[in-house]
Amino acid sequence: MTLPTLSLGLVGARGFTGSELLRLLSRHPRLKVAFATSRDLAGKRVADEAPLSGSELVFEDLDPPSCATRQVDAYVLALPNGKSRPYVDAILERRPGAVILDLSGDHRFDDAWVYGQPERNRAAIAGARLIANPGCYATALQLAAEPLLPVVQGPIHAFGVSGYSGAGTTPSPRNDPARLSDNILPYALVDHLHEREVSAQLKAAIYFTPHVAPFFQGLSVTISARLADALRTRAELVELLVSRYRGERLVRIDEAPPTAKDVRERHEVRIGGLEVSRDRTHVALVAAVDNLLGGAATTAIRNLNLAMGLPELEGVSAWLN
């Protein structure tokens, strides 16, 4: 039996995450890109920018009402923070039954939207119509910290370093190769979006300090917290992580601390390097994820699959090794 193809529109296809989505969707057996928008690339063939072989699709410059007139099953909004609202409003008015997946941070705190982290929220994502994709740092930080919450006390501290693709394509000091050369750039040292996002999701105090380094892709987060029970052993804490993610194909528990390079162009989150202080009062561990894939595009595909009744890893499993 031939299964039906589902269509989607990608709004904001020029960005780094949009490009990765097009690449993943090129091998998805059931999801077909019906339109892709980019003001800068309007009129150019999508196949010239992304591997949609055989596709005659061209990038279009569409305003929100024009996007909402397109008869697709799902709309993926790969727009900068603060830019999705006009598109959401137009789509809800004209296409209320369609799935909307927002990759920006605009709806991660909105109770009307389902928070799209499959490992933590799989049942709610299935069949959902409004899905807020999690942030890249937030993905790694939540998956590493959540299993430890019952055994730590006080705030969780996290030191993050990402490649400059996380700053997007719009020129800024955070993606300026000259400024980043032989350098590391701290920014948003309090109240970062992902700090607030993870604190809200885990219902715990998270103190997060992000930095940008002179590599393109991938991120690493080092997490530190005080143990509530000083008798906890490293083996017990590792088992908390292993048991929590047993059966999860896209979470890997490592012995050694994972690095940003370890996850580059990969789809899983890696967590490892867990250590306990000599007096057994302090625990630290490291999580790493590709900010464009496992921290964004891969999760988006999984969320679309769950929302539209498809196997969660369809279109992703072909890339796993």
Give yes or no: 136 in active site.
yes
CATH architecture of 6-134+295-319: 3-Layer(aba) Sandwich (3.40)
Measured distance between the N- and C-terminal CA atoms of the chain, rounded to whole angstroms: 28
Residues with Cβ within 8 Å of 66's Cβ and at least 6 positions away in sequence, in order, are none
pLDDT at 51 over 80: no
Kindly state the average pLDDT of the residues 182-194: 94
Domains in the chain: boundaries = 6-134+295-319, 136-291
User: Is-contact 28 94, C-beta < 8 A?
Assistant: no
Give the C-alpha distances (Å, rounded to integers) separating 269 from 124, 141, 234, 251, 302.
21, 10, 21, 5, 14
* Active-site position among 99, 136, 293, 307: 136
Please state the length of the chain: 321
Q: What pLDDT, on the 0 to 100 scale, is given for residue 98?
A: 96
**What does pTM read for this prediction?**
0.95
Q: Tell me the C-alpha to C-alpha distance, in Å, between residue 224 and each of 29, 74, 163, 238, 319.
A: 42, 39, 22, 15, 32
pLDDT tens for 117-143 read 999 999 999 999 999 999 999 999 999
- At 152, list the tokens: 């730590």
Strands 31-37 and 6-11: parallel
Q: 1-31: per-residue pLDDT in tens? A: 456 799 999 999 878 899 899 999 988 999 9
Task: Out of 3.30.365.10, 3.40.50.970, 3.30.360.10, 3.10.129.10, select the CATH number for domain 136-291.
Answer: 3.30.360.10
Residue 45's CB is within 10 A of a number of other CB atoms, namely 14
pLDDT digits (tens, 9 = 90+) for 58-75: 999 999 999 999 999 999
